[in-house]
Amino acid sequence: MPGRILNLTAVARTLGFALVAVALVATALHFRAFPARIVEPPFADISLTPDPLAAELKHCQLIAGEAKDDPACEAAWAENRRRFFTYAPPSTPTSGAAVKGAGR
């Protein structure tokens, strides 16, 4: 019957549109209420802790092609690989010894 007051399909369709509208409004309010926040890195600033290996790697990067024949660069790369694959912190006693002992 077209004149029926309780038409379930029309009520369901209306409720569906209302729920979509409420979801859109809630999403808009959520993203408006929270401004972008700056996330601080959980680790210390690298520039504050002097690392002789970082300085040696920088030196090797600057001399580019000549670094492959430089024993100091080879030692620095070996130490860097050891740190990377063993997850050793840079403050271990052996970390600076391999770089310092190789010389430039």
Sorted by where each begins, the domain ranges of the chain are 46-102
Q: Write out the chain's pLDDT in tens, 104 residues.
A: 566 677 889 889 999 999 999 999 999 888 876 566 777 666 655 556 678 888 888 988 888 888 888 899 999 999 999 988 887 666 655 544 555 555 54
DSSP 8-state code for residue 89? -
**Buried/exposed 36-62: b ≥16 CB within 10 Å, e otherwise:** eeeeeeeeeeeeeeeebbbebbeebee
pLDDT of residue 26: 93
What's the CA gap between 88 and 95, in Å, rounded?
9
Per-residue confidence (pLDDT) for residue 68, from 0 to 100: 84
Angle between helices 71-86 and 93-102 (to 10 degrees): 160
Confidence (pLDDT) at 95: 47
For 8, 44, 45, 84, the CA distances from 48, given in Å and listed in that order, are 69, 8, 6, 21
